[in-house]
Structure 1
C-alpha cells in the first residue's frame, strides 16, 4: 500500500505541532489515569502547565484532543500498516486486512471512540489543518486505486469518489457497534465491506 505523505511542515509549524502533541498527550495520560468523563479542560491546562486560554485556542473541547491524538497515531502508523497490508493481494484482500486491523485497534480504544466519532460527525466540514485530519481518506484512496490498477475494482468511478462512500459506510458500522446495535465489530466491518463491494441487488 502506497500512501502519499502530507507536506513536510516548516520550523514554525513544527513548533506549533509540538505544543499540540504536548497538550494531547497530557490529556490522554489524564484520561487513562482518571477516566475520560472525570477530566476537565481546566485540569488538562493545569497538568500541561499552560493557560486555559492557550488550551482552548487549540482545542475547544476534550473531543478535539482525542481527535488530535488518534489522527496523529494513524498518520504515524501508515508505514507499518502499509507493510502488513501489502502482503495481501491488491483489491478486496487488502481492504479486508485494513478493516481487521482497524477492528483490533478500535476494540482497544472503545471507551473513547463514541465521543470522538460524535464530535467528528458534528463538525461542519473537514478541518483545513492537515494535522487535524485522520489521513483515513488517503489510505482508502490508495487501497481502492491499487485494486483498480490490479483489475479487481471497477474504474468508471474514481478512487476519491469511492473513498467518500466507503468512509461513510465505515462510520456507520463503527457507530452501530459503539451504540450496541452490532455485537462484534469485525463481523460488522465484514458485512459493511461485503455490501460496499457487491452492492444491494440480488444477482442471478
Structure 2
C-alpha cells in the first residue's frame, strides 16, 4: 500500500518546518543553543515570531526535530529482509556515524540539550525484532533490552568521540567493533 501524497497545505507546512529547523540549527551552531532566541530564528527564516512558535513552541522542540531527522535518516538504511540482522545493524550504525561526522559541531553543541533517555531508533528496534523472529538474536535476549544496550553504547561512544577535537578515534570503526562485541561472534553465512 502506497503512502498518500500530502496536499498543498501539508507540503507548505512541512516546508516551513524544514525552513525554521534549518534557521535554528544554523544559529545554534554559530552562537550556541542558549544564546539563540526565538526572535533570531524568526529573523533568520524571515517569518514572524508567532510563525516560529506555531511550529516549534520551544527551542527544545527544534532539538527534538533534529533528533527525529537523524533517526529518520538512519531508518532509510533499514530494509526489511535485506540481509542478516548483524549486517542491517551495521548499515544503520554506519549511517549514524556518517551523520555524526557530517554534523559534528552541531552535535557537540546540542548533545546537552538531547532528551534523556535517548529514544531507540525505530530501525534498530525493527531489525532486532526481525533478528529475534529469525533466530539470529540470543534466545534469552529481549529485543527491547538489546536495543537499550545498543543505544547506551552508541550515545556513550558518541559522547567520547565528541570530547576531543580532532576526535581521538574513528567513530564508524569503534561503533562497528562495539556492535560486534555486543552481538557476539559473527556467524558464517
Contact 1:96 1:190 (C-alpha < 8 Å) held by counterparts: yes
Instruction: Tell me how far apart the structure 1 counterparts of residues 10 and 147 of structure 2 sit (CA, whole Å).
Output: 29
Counterpart in 1 of 2:64? 67
Instruction: Tell me how far apart the structure 1 counterparts of residues 99 and 184 of structure 2 sit (CA, whole Å).
Output: 26
TM-aligned CA distance change 1:10 to 1:163, over 3 Å? farther
Alignment TM-score, normalising by the size of structure 1: 0.66
Mapped pair 1:162 → 2:149: no
Deviation at 1:92, TM superposition (A): 1.7
If asked which structure has higher relative contact order (CA below 8 Å, sep 6+), I would say 1
1:149-193 Cα deviation digits (max 9, x unpaired): 232211323212321221111111111111138421123212321
Mapped pair 1:40 → 2:36: yes
Contact 2:125 2:147 (C-alpha < 8 Å) held by counterparts: yes
Counterpart in 2 of 1:22? 19
Deviation at 1:24, TM superposition (A): 0.7
Contact 1:67 1:116 (C-alpha < 8 Å) held by counterparts: no
Which residue, 45, 70, 88 being the options, matches 1:94?
88
Counterpart in 1 of 2:108? 114
Counterpart in 2 of 1:196? 182
Instruction: Tell me how far apart the structure 2 counterparts of residues 54 and 108 of structure 1 sit (CA, whole Å).
Output: 29
Contact 1:90 1:150 (C-alpha < 8 Å) held by counterparts: no
TM-aligned CA distance change 1:49 to 1:164, over 3 Å? same
TM-aligned CA distance change 1:9 to 1:166, over 3 Å? farther
TM-aligned CA distance change 1:120 to 1:69, over 3 Å? closer
RMSD: 3.7
Q: Which moved more, 1:110-119 or 1:190-199?
A: 190-199
Alignment TM-score, normalising by the size of structure 2: 0.70
TM-aligned CA distance change 1:10 to 1:165, over 3 Å? farther
1:71-125 Cα deviation digits (max 9, x unpaired): 235426634x234x864x3122221222122212211110111233321145xx6
User: Which ranges in structure 1 are unaligned for 5 or more consecutive residues?
Assistant: 1-7, 127-133, 200-204
TM-aligned CA distance change 1:193 to 1:76, over 3 Å? closer
Contact 2:25 2:106 (C-alpha < 8 Å) held by counterparts: no
Mapped pair 1:176 → 2:160: yes
